[in-house]
Amino acid sequence: MAGNIVSQVDDWVPIRRVLISVSDKAGLEGLIPALVQICPNVHMYSTGGTYRRLAEILGEPSAHLSRVADYTGQPETQGGLVKTLDFKIYLGLLTETCNPAHQADLARTGAQPIDLVICNLYPFEATVAEAGVTVERARSNVDIGGPCMIRAAAKNYLRVAVVVEPDGYPALLERLRMQQGRLNLAQRFDLAGRAFAHTARYDAAIAGFFAGQDAERVPRAYPDLL
């Protein structure tokens, strides 16, 4: 299949809509109020524990915050297994401003373009570093939705920015302060490279753990095999 090759893209993009889903919630207490101050009309979409933390910071109800489930119309599944893997979310992440078909898809579905993703992943490496960790515990800490969001946002650096670690928040806020709540193409491209490196390290850690296991011993972790 041929790729969707474009030439007309956004340079400066104001941050109006943000998708936030983080395992490590450090730094949110500084990030979120500053983001609202810099971008007064910003709206954030979030899930699960991240939503609860943002509601604590902003107060609930907040004009700046919605649950992803309320936006998509799809409730989270048991245990948060499926939260952000939704057509409206990925339209918002992957659509291009100057593509009429993409804009028609947004209008057809009521989806909104997302300008910024703030996401970090389940602590797989920390989990498998614990003494006596089982393959089942390791499996349960393999993040699916997070890497998908990060990769979609990074692929569409044409319009979308992505920040993957709390230590990236100060630089993000400084840029937004200096640039009237906007990020440019070069900055988004730099963030995309960091994001792809982040997911590559994550996948390498998972692959390394799986490769280090004796597959013949794995059934012992599941005493109720059917």
- Domains contained in the chain, number: 1
C-alpha distance across the termini of the chain, in Å: 41
- Residues 53-73 have pLDDT tens digits of 999 999 988 999 999 999 999
* pLDDT computed for residue 98 by the predictor: 87
Tell whether 114 is covered by a domain. yes
Listed as ranges, residues in the chain with pLDDT below 70 are 1-3, 78-80
Note down the domain range covering 87. Answer: 13-212
Tell whether 5 is covered by a domain. no
Tell whether 224 is covered by a domain. no
Tell whether 105 is covered by a domain. yes
Q: Quick count: other Cβ atoms within 10 Å of Cβ 85?
A: 15
- Residues 18-53 have pLDDT tens digits of 999 999 999 999 999 999 999 999 999 999 999 999
Tell whether 217 is covered by a domain. no
d(Cα 175, Cα 86) in Å, to the nearest integer?
Answer: 30
Tell whether 225 is covered by a domain. no
What pTM was computed for the model? 0.93
H/E segment holding residue 178: helix 169-178
We report the CATH number of the domain holding residue 86 as 3.40.50.1380
d(Cα 174, Cα 86) in Å, to the nearest integer?
Answer: 32
